[in-house]
């Protein structure tokens, strides 16, 4: 069992999987623990949740879709896509791009 654990820790995908679990747990706790009546800044909470989600998306793209070993152009396109989606979601949420 000890050898299996050492092998798993050496694999980047295993560490990323653990990070995804932690990020999901933080998102869940933050999302369910925020109440309007507590006076929480829901806009800030939403922005943090979107940020965590985009980091998770980038990790999945890089490590589980094997883009980390792809040509530089594809890595840049996927990173720019994550940034563009994040800006669009946050911009729409704060009313920057619409009424």
Question: Do 16 and 59 contact (CB within 8 A), yes or no?
Answer: yes
pLDDT above 60: residue 65:
yes
Q: What pTM was estimated for this model as a whole?
A: 0.79
pLDDT above 90: residue 31:
no
49: left (phi over 0), alpha (psi -120 to 50) or beta: alpha
Question: Do 29 and 49 contact (CB within 8 A), yes or no?
Answer: no
Segment 13-17 mean pLDDT: 87
Residue 75: which pLDDT band, with cuts at 50, 70 and 90? very high
Integer Cα distance of 75 and 19 in angstroms: 20
């Amino acid at each position: 069992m000890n050898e299996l654990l050492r092998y798993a820790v050496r694999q980047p995908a295993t560490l990323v999987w653990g990070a995804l679990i932690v990020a999901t747990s933080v998102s869940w706790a933050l999302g369910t623990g925020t109440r309007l009546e507590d006076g929480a800044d829901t806009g800030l909470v939403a922005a943090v949740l979107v940020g965590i989600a985009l980091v998770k998306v980038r990790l999945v793209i890089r490590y589980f879709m094997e883009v980390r070993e792809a040509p530089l152009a594809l890595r840049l396109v996927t990173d720019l896509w994550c940034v563009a989606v994040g800006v669009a979601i946050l911009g729409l949420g704060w009313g920057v791009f619409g009424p």
